[in-house]
Each structure stands twice: as C-alpha cells, then as structure tokens.
Structure 1
C-alpha cells in the first residue's frame, strides 16, 4: 500500500510540475537528464538559487567590474559583402562584375573611411545608416572575411584538398554548430558555455550567468553552469500558482507542499529542488525586471530590438543580482536569401541597424557602454554570384563588433579579392575563402572579458592552428 501511495504521489508531483509550469519549462529553463546527473554530483548548498555546485574557477575581478558579451547571431547566412562594400574605382568595378544584379549602386552606399585603409574607400549598405554613425563615432568596427576554418587555407590548397576543411562546409546546421562550439571536433559544450565555466566568480549565481533570449542555444552549453533561456518579453510566470491572486492560494500551498517533500528517487528529488529554485528565480528576478524604468531611448520596431531590450533590462539589474560577468545570446532569423535577396536584405538590414544602435544607446543610458561588447555571428556568407533572384550558401563573411571598449572606425583583418575565380574564390562562384578564423575573431573580446592566453587555448582548442594576435579590436 505504501509503495502504491508513493508511486501515486510521485506521478502527481511530476504531473503537477508539467501542468502548472509547462510553458516556463519549455521556454525558460531547459534541462536534460545529464544536467540532473551533473547537478546531483555537485556540492549542494541550501540557499535558493546558489544551491548549484559552484566549482568554476573565479577570475580575479575587482568588485563592481562588470562586463558582458552579447552574441547577435544572424541565422541563415548573412550577405556581409553587401553590408560593407569597397568603393575605390578598381575594387568597386570588381565588386559589380561579380555581384551582377545583387550589386548596390555606388551612389547609394553610405561612405566610411576606415583608419587602416587610407588609400581605399568603403560604403555601408544604404539601410545601415545607424551603423555608419556608430562606425564614424568609433563605437563600431568591422571584422573582415571571417569564417569557420580548421587551419589556414589558400585557393590552391582548397582545390587540391590538401588541407583540412570544416565538415559539411555549406550546411546551415553544421556550420552554425561549428560557429557556436568553435571546435572542429564538436565538443558538447559551446564557446559561451566554456567562457562561463571560467569566468563565473564564486559569489555569482551560475543560473544567471549565461542567458539566451527567446530560444535555447548550444553556444551556451556548459559543464558547470546552466544555460537559461527566457522569452523576449521576460520570464514566463507560474500563473497557476501566482502569489498575488486569491484564487491561486490553495493551489499554491499544495504545490509548495509537494516541493517541500523529500523523495527517495534522486532524479525526482533533484527535479523537485530545481523546480523550487526555478520558481524562486522567476518570481524574484521577474519582479526585479518589472521595476526597471522604461528606457528613454526610443525602441524601433522589430523582434531584435525587443530581445536586446530584455538583455538591457537584465544588465540594468546586474547589481541586485550580484552579477560581474555575463554572456548573452540573441538570434535574428531570415538571412537565408535564396530569393528576393535585394528586398529582403533591405528589411533585414534596416532592423539590424536600428536595433544595434538602439542597444548601444541604451547601454550608454545605463552608463555601461564601456562594459558591454556586442558582436555578430552568422554560419557563413552568401555567394557573390546571383542565382537569378538571390544568392546561395558560401563561406567567408564580414562581421560587426560594437561597444564603448571597441576600437571602432576601422576594418580589421584582410579584405578579400571579390574576383570570380580569383585568389580568394573557392569554387569559381564567389564562395570566398575566409582569411580570419572564428577563433582569431574571438580572441580580442575574450581577452577583454578577462581570459588569459592559456585559457583562450582551453576554450578554443583549435586556436593553436592560427596566429592568435592577428587582430585586436578592443581597447
């Protein structure tokens, strides 16, 4: 009889968790069995969210020295070679010959003068006026022709297949994974997760260290911390057991009684503890977010701005949460422009430019523009050649890095030749071979974040194949 009652109680408990919190569990805290096993082996304290095992190495961070990294992932493969365009006569003629009906008219491009390219001129896409302004004010830089690599490679070596290549080179999922893992061997942890494992101070809540907005990402997958995903409008609430409604009080008391029980099954008992801490997180942090005053910076339309607004709100309550290091991930879809390339790119770039400028201005409003560095990522670029009405999957690509600690107003790395079948073209169709690896791109912001050279080699195991000092765009 006791066994039957125990099984019924456990089933009721699990059903209650699923029914009462299904929306939050699906969107806000993503756990797998390996996470529970990992947590079960950790040292468990008794004080709320800090009960997760905190064995991560602590950086020597002075009190109040807050820093955040924000990865803005452009899903689908952004056409970076239309994002910033060479406008010197020879280079622009080469660009138009290759891009055909995908080319942007020179008169429409927004001129910029990179500090390191005194004899060359460039222009931003006409829909990137806000990014042009940030570039000219020294708050935005361009990382030229970056992409997934196993080792440096030339066109000839690519054609001969004499050097190693990333697996499934032009596949969305595979190349997104390699960007996020930053490891050709595809570790089970992501770059952001490995950085979290090194950068979490002992007094910092590991549940709030790595946060994805509006969807989970393996970029934040970690050995020692949990990756937290919240909605673009904040935390989903436990509405069925809310503390501030009369009709939920009896239900809340019953639910809390379930959470107060001890269960012999370690999986269920840890699940119970996780739900208790999650409930406390939702109600505590959610209520703190609600107290953040509206920003005076006018928010543009679009989901990216809303997601970045939520990042800014989390940063705004950093002191209340005891945060000194945080990493954020925000995705923006729609960049797989196989058709309607020109019109779709106009809309995408409008939203990207306005949203990034909005986010920078909000960090300035909060007084943390020197402490927040944002950077774009995208699985690959687009072909220079047209398929008629669009472009196809390619390889190398330009990226953006933004923040008060960025050496803006410049282009870093090597601008490639845009000649079809030229020295940087892999397949005679405008698939440009990257001249800077993702590892090299990430060295500068991770050093700024506090990682040592030894730690950089640990979080990016393939960095030894490249020159780690090739680019430096941080102050």
Structure 2
C-alpha cells in the first residue's frame, strides 16, 4: 500500500461528468538525451548533426535509421519511437522544443553573466525538483500538480472518494500540495499488500494491525502515521471495489515493460472515474535511467523502445474508454545532455530539452517553441559543448497544460509565481 495521507474516503459517487479531464506526467529520470530523440533531417542540418555527434550519430538511411516525420519533414525521430512518429503524423502528438528550467527568458550572454538563473543547474536532484515544482529552486514544499489540486479540487471533485492526484511511481514533489495530498499506487497491486498464509491467519494479522491503529499513544507523529495507514487500508478497499466492478480493458499493453505496467494501472483508474466521483485527475509515472555517461546508444535506445509502445497502448486505451480528447500525456526530464559526446561514447548533463505531448486535444503534427542552433559555442550554447540555453521555460510548458486542465489565466500566478516574467505565458499546443 502507498502510505500517503490519502484523506478519508467517501461512498462511491454516482454518474459520470462530461467535463472529465486528466493530465498524465511521464518523468524520464536521469536526463533524456533529446538531441538523439529529435534530429534535423534536412541535408545541411543532418550533416552538421552527424559531424558533431560523431559515434552517437544515428544513421539517416539504412538499418536503424531515423524516422522522418511526414508532418514535419525537416526533422526525424529516434528509430525506437515508431509509435510516437505515427501519433505525431496523425496529429495526436506534438513536440515542444528546447524546454528547460528558467526564472525568466535568458540568453547565452545573460547566462554567462550569471543573471537570474535557476539554482544548481546540471544537478540531477535539483533539476528534477525544479521541473516538478516549476520554481527557481527545488526547495519548496509543493509541486505544480499539487498546487493545481489545491486550486481546483473543491470546484471539480467535491464528491470524490480519492484525491485528485495519483502517483504510480512513488512519492514525488510534483504531487504535493499545501492542502491536498496524493494517493500512491503500486502498479498491478491495486488491492494492497497480500498475505501468503492461510485465511484464518491473514484475517487475524489484519485485525491485529488495524486494532493497533486505534491505540492512542499521545505522540503526534505516531498518531499521524496511524491516520495515514488507516486511510491507506480504506483507500485500497475502495479502489479495489471500483476496479473489480468493471470489465478488463481490451487494449493490450506491452509485456515486460515497467512503464506500460504503470500506464495500464492509470488507464484502469480512469476507467472507474465515475465510481470514484472524480472530474479532474492528475497522474505521475516514471522511467529511468537516462543518465547515459557511457554506452549511450545501447542504453537510451532500449529505454525509448519501452516508451514508444507503452505510450501508444495508453493512447489506445483512452480511445477505448472514449476519453482520448479528455486525457493529455506529457514528458518531463531532469535536462537534456551535451550535444558533443564524451570519451565514453556517452554524454554529460546539459539543460534545454525536447518533450512529447500526446492526446486527442493536442494540436498535433507540429513543433512548438524554437529548435536550437546546433553550434558548439554558438548563440544557444551555454558553454562550448552543446548545453542549450532553453528558449522555452518549463513553467510555460506546465502552464499550458494547467490552463487546458481548468486553471484560469487569473489563477496561473498562484500556481506558477514566476509566470509573469514571460511575455507568452502559454504555448498553444493544446
């Protein structure tokens, strides 16, 4: 069971809302090398890419070659993303270029002068937190999804039997609000921990455990933990009842694929949204490790080969559930990686990255933002080896998703305090 402060669970709500919306975050832990995810395909652009990338350059033709995008022919996707290419060409997916953590719009010159920069750039833990909280520093108590829940939960989910946010990838800052808290689900084990002994023994153990939770120790932390655990038992019971009351999904998710298992669990929870009384939901999933300091082609290609069919199956499941236009999935990651390889046929920590957004409401088949000039020591390079200065802030990316979800323009500054630093607060990809 996910031991989070789940909140007391009410009776199952009746009826479904026609205004249902869900956001699904897929976090690529470790820093996905977006330079090998989205590649220039025109003759001049590819030649420049191949020259600088050297041993990491993906072939333009032949075995394992790049997938030219029909809707964006001057660019191509990694050969291990065929499903994403199909979704993009069918206008159900969009690409957002050179996104990264920013306090305000920043140029190379301003970076070199140290003006108004996010804290601890190129650090895994700090940049993961700053993507998840859309703040200049990782040192906050809340994430941007949690702040959305604080803002919208009372309006959209007044009769919900679970919180607005569900994580299937553990405890994250992204999910934390000031007044709202997430639920945490172990994918494939929605009914909670199991007991391997006999029925009588398991029943006795459960009764004893629950009896201990009623003991008043007088210690604040112990009582708080008991409350969390009590709610976890009730949460497991409620969600199990809801999911067991419906037929299994017909969509086939890839086997032996951890991300697919997480997304299948999310689809199953979306399937019972009416029983749970939710009109708005946010989900968090994750996959790693993209920290490819060596042997990058092997490691990254294997990870992308998991992501592509998993996201395609999830989109198919939303179609099966008739909510494809109501569910938007999107990627986040620590950062991209250096355009110039290191000596171990890998790459090191960088900054601006490219991201994927999928859903029926997405204005797909297009690239949003500004693709960087792939020039070492050039106008978009923060140094000399291809750490691109972002031309789009991560909070602009997040604010676009939030506004589609139901956050008003007037509410955006409450969730993204620095959004006013950007003349264009949202990007229009949805």
TM-score strictly above 0.5 = yes
Partner of 1:424: 380
Q: 2:231 aligns to what? A: 277
Q: 1:145 aligns with which of 74, 77, 98?
A: 98
- For residues 404 and 251 of structure 1, do their structure 2 counterparts lie closer, same or farther at Cα, with a shift above 3 Å needed? same
Partner in structure 2 of residue 165 of structure 1 = 117
Q: Which has the larger radius of gyration?
A: 1
Is it true that 1:131 corresponds to 2:84 in the alignment?
yes
- CA positional deviation for 1:100: 1.7
Secondary structure of 1:208 counterpart: coil
Contact 1:76 1:335 in 2 (8 A): yes
Paired position in structure 2 for 1:176: 128
Matched, 1:463 2:419: yes
Q: Which residue of 1 aligns with 2:303?
A: 348
Cα distance per residue 1:352-398 (max 9 Å; x no partner): 11111111011111111111100000010010101131111111110
Say which of 325, 335, 345 aligns to 1:380.
335
2:75 is matched with 122
Secondary structure at 1:327 match in 2: strand
Given that 1:179 and 1:379 are in contact with CA atoms closer than 8 Å, whether structure 2 keeps it comes out as: yes
Distance 1:262 1:134, change over 3 A: same
With structure 1 as the length reference, what TM-score do the two structures score? 0.82
Q: State the partner residue of 1:111.
A: 68
- Deviation by residue 1:61-81 (Cα, 9 ceiling, x = unmatched): x94311110110000000111
How far apart, CA to CA, are the structure 2 residues paired with 1:266 and 1:439? 37
1:228 is matched with 183
**Residues 1:270 and 1:126: Cα distance change in structure 2 (over 3 Å):** closer
Report deviation, 1:292: 4.2
More moved, 353-362 vs 292-301 = 292-301
Residue of 238, 241, 249 corresponding to 1:287: 241
Alignment partner, residue 97 of structure 1? 51
* Structure 2 CA distance for partners of 1:361 and 1:216, relative to 1, 3 Å: same
Aligned-pair distance for 1:267?
5.4
> Following the alignment from structure 1 to structure 2, what is the Cα–Cα distance between the partners of residues 126 and 254?
54
- CA change 1:423–1:306 in 2 (3 A) is same
1:156 deviation in Å?
1.9
* CA 208–245 in structure 1, closer or farther in 2 if over 3 Å, else same: farther
How do residues 385-396 of structure 1 correspond to structure 2 at under 5 angstroms?
A: 385-388=340-343, 389-396=345-352
Does the 8 Å contact 1:370/1:404 carry over to 2?
A: yes
What do you get for the CA RMSD once the two structures are aligned? 2.4
Q: Secondary structure at the match of 2:242?
A: helix
Q: 1:256 to 1:110 in 2, by over 3 A?
A: closer
User: Which ranges of structure 2 fall in alignment gaps of 5 or more residues?
Assistant: none
* Aligned partner of 1:78 among 24, 32, 41: 32
- Which structure carries more helix by proportion? 1
SS in 1 for 2:270: helix
1:65 aligns with 2:19: yes
220-229 vs 287-296, which moves further: 287-296
Distance of aligned partners of 1:464 and 1:261 in 2 relative to their CA distance in 1, 3 Å threshold: same
How far, CA to CA, are the matches of 1:112 and 1:295 in structure 2? 31
Q: CA 1:364 to 1:316, structure 2 compared with 1: closer, same or farther past 3 Å?
A: same
Query: 2:9 aligns to what?
Result: 49
| Equivalence for 2:368 | 412
| Number of corresponding residues | 418
The 8 Å contact of residues 440 and 467 in structure 1, kept in 2 or not, is answered as no
1: distance between equivalents of 2:426 and 2:19? 27
Report the alpha carbon displacement of residue 297 of structure 1 after superposing the two structures with TM.
2.0
Q: Which runs of 5+ in 1 are unaligned?
A: 1-23, 40-47, 52-61
Supply the distance in 1 between the matched residues of 2:248 and 2:295 (Cα, whole angstroms). 37
Q: Which shifted more, 187-196 or 261-270?
A: 261-270
Task: Answer yes or no: is 1:195 the counterpart of 2:148.
Answer: yes
In 2: Cα distance, 1:326 partner to 1:403 partner: 15
Distance 1:289 1:411, change over 3 A: same
| Equivalent residue runs for 1:331-370 within 5 Å | 331-370=286-325
| More relative contact order, 1 or 2 (CA 8 Å, 6+ apart) | 2
**8 Å contact kept, 1:292–1:313:** no
**1:90 shift after superposition:** 1.8
Give 1:276 shift. 3.1
- Output one character per residue of 1:197-235: Cα deviation in whole Å (capped at 9) or x when no partner: 112135243743111113111111111112222112133
Instruction: State how 1:318-329 maps to structure 2 within 5 Å.
Output: 318-329=273-284
TM-aligned CA distance change 1:175 to 1:270, over 3 Å: closer
| In structure 2, distance between residues paired with 1:307 and 1:207 | 18
In 2 relative to 1, CA 319–165 (structure 1 residues): closer, same or farther, beyond 3 Å?
Answer: same
Range moving further from structure 2, 320-329 or 223-232: 223-232
Q: Distance in 2 between matches of 1:269 and 1:415?
A: 52
CA contact under 8 A between 1:216 and 1:229: conserved in structure 2? yes
Whole-Å separation in 2 of the counterparts to 1:343 and 1:266: 50
